[in-house]
Amino acid sequence: MVNLKAAPFFLTEEKEKWVLDTLASMTTEEKIGQMFCPIGGNTEEGFLQSFLEEFHPGAMLYRPFAAKDVRKTHKYLQEHSRIPLLFGANLESGGNGICADGTYYARPMGVAATDNPVNAYRLGAVAGKEAQAVGCNWAFSPICDLDMNFRNPITNVRTFGSSQERVISFVKEQLRGLKEYGVAAAVKHFPGDGVDERDQHLVSTVNSLSVEEWDATYGAIWQEVVNAGALSVMVGHIMQPAYSKYFNPELTDEEILPATLSKELLQGLLRGKLGFNGMIVTDATPMIGFNTFLPRHEAVPAALAAGCDMILFNKDIREDYQAVRDALADGRLTAERVDEAVTRILAMKSAMDLPEMQAAGTIVAGEEALSCVGCAEHQEWAKECADESVTLVKDTQNLLPISPEKYKRIRLYLLEDRIGGGFKDGEGAIDKIKGKLEQEGFEVTLYDYAHPDMYEMFEGGVADVKSKFDLALYVACIDTASNQSVRRIDWVHLMAADAPWFMQDIPAMFVSIANPYHLVDAPMVKTFINAYTPTEAVIDQVIEKILGRSEFRGVNPVDPFCGIWGAKF
């Protein structure tokens, strides 16, 4: 039986009665529905009503669109669902995780670079207040991962860095900000991403630390998360072989499973050793990391049987529901395990006061609450965070500050995702750099990737380049994005024509407004700045600092030199 009076639920007798009475009143179909969180798409009311009647979901997630429309959709669904819904969102960087017009506060690593926990609280508060305004009550954040491997393409700026002490401090402050506005957290990604260099969207990844190493790093973080009272934990498609074998020494290497399917990690480590009594949700199950160990019709109920309480997202939702029905019919999944999972889901909702708010008609705030979405106060906080976060990694050539008097003619290189539809994040912010520099009196020439200068590429020498510009400025926006194997600089393949071959004759400066690890590919650059978050507020602060009007205040949350000899010179 689930202890509903214990952490993190702390239910009163009355709230416990609601959970037990609701469970007793539910059909098997309703119980199955509670264990799923599908992605929403169609917002037409007739479709929504039919969807509720067929699937009875326990939760849903909508990708960001206009705040007023998000609120309208959430309100309709809550008013027409017998049991109140959890509405999730990736509130990792601010209210923009649920509202297209929400505040993009900062990437977590940008917050960490301020070395100021107040900014972590503000990250949670901005996201929480704007989510609350549209009826979103469940944050798929904070991220508790450690960015141990600079080659990892998906953790990176989504983390608070590589120090578990800073991660613990900042995660707890972000949790406090979310909780202040009634938004529950699904802290992620247990048992911890960032050791492997691969992306669990593409393959089941491996946290390869020993038991002792895990305890001293990820374990310390997760124990603090449990102790802080997080209501839910998101489990990744990540293997942890050392702890799997610790709890089951008979396991062969071939039998080790990712956490979403592993009784050893869910029951032994998370529930047992760490003492987590809350709700466990899988990471997105369409990921390849989930689907390659078992046939999907076996994997979905196997995740529930192993100890997950809710399945995040579907491939074919009807297939997934049928897989659970079939597993219940043949005994692979027991009615007792389903009741336990649904009890925890209902207990989480009760602990959040969702039944009372649904009954009172206040589960989605009134339209007046939308005034906070993207508001001036939140934008000012984002600006302050940007000011504190921009980090001067090195300036060994004593280039800074720059001015039009010293470096009138700038060749600007915009390093971005040129494949697969453009930017993954920050679209528009990077394009504003040219105009902002020109306003300061610089003459800026944009390197033309579509039509590169063939003479310069094959025949031009130093004199030719010097005749054109005084300073080369590289600005990179190669942001973290799912389903990417690497996040590295992809120089022009013909002669690496955009690389700074001329840097001993003409100075070069590099600014990254996303990935902080570009010195692995450009260690020769002697002036390097990390800014972490691709927003206009960050771009403005970068310009203020390179012009000498503002001090660099950021600290390195990771090793930007990537452990490479020579990168510090």
Burial class (CB in 10 A: 0-12, 13-18, 19+), 555: middle
Whether residue 438 contacts residue 446, with contact meaning beta carbons closer than 8 Å, is answered with: no
Q: Which of 145, 196, 199, 283 is catalytic?
A: 283
Query: Whose structure tokens read 């990604």?
Result: 189
Q: Nearest-CA neighbor of 283 among 222, 232, 218, 234?
A: 234
- Those residues with Cβ within 8 angstroms of residue 420's Cβ, 6 or more apart along the chain or in another chain: none
Under DSSP, the state recorded for 12 is -
Neighbours of 393 (CB within 10 A): 21
Whether residue 171 contacts residue 142, with contact meaning beta carbons closer than 8 Å, is answered with: yes
C-alpha 122/C-alpha 199 separation (Å) is: 29
**Residue 276 in tokens:** 């987590």
Burial class (CB in 10 A: 0-12, 13-18, 19+), 376: exposed
Instruction: Please confirm, yes or no, whether 283 is among the known catalytic residues.
Output: yes
In the chain, how long is the greatest CA-to-CA distance? Answer: 82
Whether residue 509 contacts residue 421, with contact meaning beta carbons closer than 8 Å, is answered with: no
Whether residue 273 contacts residue 223, with contact meaning beta carbons closer than 8 Å, is answered with: no
Catalytic residues: 283
